[in-house]
């Protein structure tokens, strides 16, 4: 009986996640195009036909419609159900760590914004200021719901990565974008200095691996979006940062 209740709870959280993921797809598409995401129904990006409500069921509709618009027949990108699925999985992971709590709400809100930043940065190589400002909301709320992260740690977290990034950007053109710097400043307040270092390390590790792959492939365009890898690092630190840091210290008997 307990297992059934747990299954229902996790399923409920997953459904909440994929529904919100569907809305994130709207934000990801509209913000770079300066279209309001607060009003207007979803529409096909190819023919602009409004999408019917029963054709807009997260994940399911993609397969039901055979990945094609019912009006123009153009293919629907696989990224839409993938964003919904990733948001659902993220919601479940956060629930597994924090349960139904304000901590879940704060971390999930931050994660949803990070998903939007990731996808938009991949598309445009730009992190919109409005999303960085939106991330400040869960960052500020984390001060009240994660009191174990002290104010001094948060203040140090603001500058411990963003300041070196800013210095590098001043001396090395295109080393980091302004959006990356602002993202790490806000994340630093939310995470505290220790987890901010971890988030940056994960981001550099993943971003570095992709940069090496681009060099090996000898692609003409050497520029890459770094924000997505920072977002992965930030989310990993939010969920498992303390565990990873404790494990690392235990390797050295500390």
What are 203-221's pLDDT values in tens digits? 999 998 888 887 777 666 6
pLDDT mean across residues, the chain? 90
Total count of domains within the chain: 2
Q: Are residues 182 and 106 in the same domain?
A: yes
Residues 134 and 59 in one domain: no
Which residue bears the tokens 């797809």?
25
Helix or strand holding residue 123 (H, E): helix 102-124
User: Domain check: are 92 and 119 in the same one?
Assistant: no
Q: Are residues 23 and 40 in the same domain?
A: yes
Q: Directed axis angle between helix 227-251 and helix 102-124, to 10°?
A: 130
Is 2 among the domain residues?
no
Boundary residue ending a domain (99, 132, 147): 99
* DSSP, res 23: H
Residue 223 has pLDDT above 80, yes or no: no
Read off the pLDDT of residues 145-165 as tens digits, 9 standing for 90 and up: 999 999 999 999 999 999 999
What's the token pair of residue 63?
A: 């397969």
Q: Which domain holds residue 177?
A: 101-254
Q: How far apart are CA 228 and CA 232, in angstroms?
A: 6
Q: Report whether 71 contacts 44 (CB < 8 A).
A: yes
Rounded Cα gap, residues 31 and 222, in angstroms: 26
Residue 83 in any domain: the answer is: yes
Classify residue 175: in a domain, yes or no: yes
67 in the same domain as 173: no
Q: Are residues 93 and 106 in the same domain?
A: no
pLDDT at 127 over 90: yes
Mark which of 66, 81, 99 sits at the end of a domain. Answer: 99
183 is a domain residue: yes
Q: Are 131 and 90 in the same domain?
A: no
Q: Is there a single domain that holds both residue 95 and residue 126? A: no
Strand partners of residue 43:
50
pLDDT at 85: 96
- Which has more confidence, 67 or 24? 24
Same-domain check for residues 155 and 222: yes
Final residue of a structural domain among 79, 99, 119: 99
Residue 190 and residue 241 share a domain: yes
3-class SS at 77? coil
Q: Is residue 114 located within the same domain as residue 217? A: yes
Q: Measured between alpha carbons, how far is 227 from 193 in angstroms, rounded to an integer?
A: 19
Residues 56, 110: one domain?
Answer: no
Of 33-42, 73-82, 109-118, where does the model show the most confidence? 109-118
Percent of the chain beyond pLDDT 90?
Answer: 61
Q: Is 3 a member of any domain?
A: no
pLDDT given for residue 43 in this prediction: 77
Torsion angle of C-alpha atoms 96, 99, 100, 103, degrees rounded to 10: -100
Q: Is residue 49 in a domain?
A: yes
Domain assignment of residue 1, yes or no: no
CA distance 70 to 81: 17
């Amino acid at each position: 009986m307990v297992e059934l209740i747990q299954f229902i709870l996790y399923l409920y959280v997953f459904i909440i996640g994929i529904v919100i993921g569907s809305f994130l797809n709207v934000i990801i598409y509209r913000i770079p195009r300066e279209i309001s995401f607060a009003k207007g129904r979803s529409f096909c990006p190819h023919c602009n036909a409004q999408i019917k409500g029963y054709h807009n069921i997260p994940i399911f509709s993609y397969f039901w419609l055979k990945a094609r618009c019912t009006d123009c027949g153009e293919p629907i990108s696989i990224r839409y159900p993938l964003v919904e699925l990733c948001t659902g999985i993220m919601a479940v992971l956060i629930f597994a760590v924090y349960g139904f709590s304000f901590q879940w709400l704060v971390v999930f809100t931050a994660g949803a914004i990070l998903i939007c930043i990731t996808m938009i940065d991949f598309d445009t190589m730009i992190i919109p200021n409005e999303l960085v400002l939106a991330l400040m909301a869960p960052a500020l709320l984390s001060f009240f719901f994660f009191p174990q992260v002290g104010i001094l740690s948060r203040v140090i977290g603001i500058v411990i990565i963003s300041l070196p990034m800013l210095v590098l950007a001043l001396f090395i053109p295109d080393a980091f974008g302004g959006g990356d710097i602002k993202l790490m400043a806000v994340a630093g307040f939310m995470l505290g200095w220790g987890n901010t270092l971890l988030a940056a390390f994960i981001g550099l590790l993943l971003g570095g691996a992709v940069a090496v792959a681009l060099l090996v492939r000898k692609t003409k365009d050497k520029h890459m979006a770094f924000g997505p890898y920072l977002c992965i690092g930030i989310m990993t630190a939010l969920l498992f940062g303390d565990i990873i840091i404790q494990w690392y210290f235990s390797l050295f008997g500390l």
